C-alpha cells in the first residue's frame, strides 16, 4: 500500500526535489501540500508548490496556504543566498493548475479527523509552525497522526542558523517545542545526517530523462556548491526515512528545545527530562542516493 502523507513545505530547492521524488516514486499517496514561510515568503512557497504539482500533472492534489509568522517571534531573515529570491535559483516552473486553499492547520486537522487513526503521516520539510497550530488548536487529532517526520535540528554538527541551531527549528523554536513535546510519534532528521547526503555532478548528469528527472537535474545543478557536489539534500531525507528507515541509523533520545533569545534559540538539547523521540544519526549515503534516483524515472 502507498503511504498516505501530507507534505508541509517551504519550497526551496531541496524541498522541490523532495516533492518531485514523493510524486514520482509511486510509493506515496500525497493528500496535499501545505505551505509555510521559511526559505522564502509564503506567497512564493505556495506558488512553487503549485508549480511542482503542475509539472507532475497533479491538479487533483490541493495546495493549502499556511501561516507566514512564527507562533510568538518575528519572522527570520530569508535565506535567498542559498535558494534565490524565487526559492529555485531561477529554475522556472509552470503556473499552478488550481488556486491554493487557505488555513493549512484547519485543513490538516480535517484530513486527520476523517482518516483512519494512524493512517496519515506528516512529512515536515520547513519550520513547524503549521504543525504546531494543528496540535495546539486541534488537540483531538494529535493521536490520529501516524508519524511526524521532521527535517530539523542538529545534535553534534555545527548549526546553519546559530552556532548550534538549525534554520527550521530556529525559525520557530516554540513550534518545534510543541511538536517534539506532543503525544504524536516524532522522528527527527538533523544536520548530522543531511550533510552526509549530497549529489555529485556525475549523479546529477545521469538522472533519468523524464520531465521530472530533467527538472530535478536543473534544480540540482542550481544547488551545486562548487560545481562538483550539491549542498546537503536536507529535505529529501524525510521522504527516504518514510520509505526505508533501514537506510538510517535511528536512535531514541530524550530531547528538548532551547527557547532562549540568543543566537542558538531553537537548538536541540539532549535532556533526560525531555521527550523521547527517534533521531536519525547515521545514513548509508550510497543506498540513499540510489533510492532517491528511482523517484525521477
Residue 32: pLDDT band with limits 50, 70, 90: very high
Topology adopted by domain 3-294: Inosine-uridine Nucleoside N-ribohydrolase; Chain A (3.90.245)
Q: Give rounded-to-5 percent helix, strand, coil for the chain.
A: 35, 20, 40
For residues 275 and 123, give the distance between their C-alpha atoms in angstroms, rounded to a whole number: 19
54 CB-side CA count, 13 A: 15
Domain ranges (residues) in the chain? 3-294
Contact criterion met (CB below 8 Å) for 228 and 96? no
Between CA 33 and CA 51 the distance in angstroms is: 11
Question: Does residue 81 surpass a pLDDT of 90?
Answer: no
Q: Is 234 a catalytic residue?
A: yes
Over range 162-175, report the average pLDDT: 95
* Lowest-confidence pick of 45-49, 85-89, 151-155, 170-174: 85-89
Give pLDDT tens digits for 277-292. Answer: 999 999 999 999 999 9
Average the pLDDT over 35-41 and give the result.
85
Question: Among residues 83, 133, 212, 234, which one is catalytic?
Answer: 234
Averaged pLDDT score across all residues of the chain:
94
pTM for the whole structure: 0.96
Res 147 pLDDT > 50: yes
Amino acid at each position: 500500500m502507498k503511504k498516505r502523507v501530507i507534505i508541509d513545505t517551504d519550497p526551496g530547492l531541496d524541498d522541490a526535489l523532495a516533492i518531485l521524488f514523493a510524486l514520482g516514486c509511486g510509493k506515496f499517496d500525497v493528500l496535499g501540500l501545505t505551505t509555510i514561510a521559511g526559505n522564502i515568503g509564503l506567497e512564493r512557497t505556495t506558488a512553487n508548490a503549485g508549480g511542482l504539482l503542475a509539472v507532475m500533472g497533479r491538479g487533483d492534489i490541493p495546495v493549502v496556504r499556511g501561516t507566514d509568522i512564527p507562533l510568538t517571534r518575528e519572522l527570520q531573515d530569508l535565506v535567498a543566498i542559498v535558494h534565490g529570491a524565487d526559492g529555485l535559483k531561477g529554475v522556472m516552473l509552470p503556473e499552478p493548475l488550481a488556486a491554493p486553499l487557505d488555513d493549512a492547520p484547519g485543513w490538516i486537522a480535517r484530513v486527520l479527523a476523517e482518516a483512519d487513526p494512524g493512517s496519515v503521516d506528516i512529512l515536515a520539510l520547513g519550520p513547524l509552525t503549521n504543525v504546531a497550530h494543528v496540535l495546539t488548536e486541534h488537540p483531538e487529532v494529535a493521536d490520529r497522526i501516524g508519524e511526524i517526520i521532521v527535517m530539523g535540528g542538529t545534535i553534534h554538527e555545527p548549526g546553519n542558523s546559530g552556532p548550534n541551531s538549525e534554520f527550521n527549528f530556529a525559525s520557530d523554536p516554540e513550534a518545534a517545542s510543541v511538536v517534539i513535546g506532543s503525544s504524536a510519534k516524532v522522528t527527527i532528521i538533523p544536520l548530522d545526517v543531511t550533510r552526509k547526503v549530497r549529489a555529485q555532478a556525475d549523479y546529477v548528469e545521469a538522472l533519468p530523462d523524464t520531465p521530472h528527472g530533467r527538472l530535478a537535474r536543473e534544480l540540482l545543478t542550481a544547488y551545486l556548491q562548487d560545481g562538483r557536489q550539491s549542498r546537503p539534500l536536507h529535505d529529501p531525507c524525510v521522504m527516504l526515512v518514510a520509505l526505508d528507515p533501514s537506510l538510517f541509523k535511528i536512535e531514541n533520545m530524550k530531547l528538548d528545545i532551547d527557547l532562549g533569545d540568543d543566537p542558538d534559540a531553537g537548538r536541540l538539547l539532549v535532556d533526560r527530562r525531555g521527550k523521547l523521540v527517534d533521531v536519525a544519526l547515521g545514513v548509508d549515503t550510497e543506498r540513499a542516493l540510489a533510492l532517491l534516483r528511482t523517484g525521477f524515472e
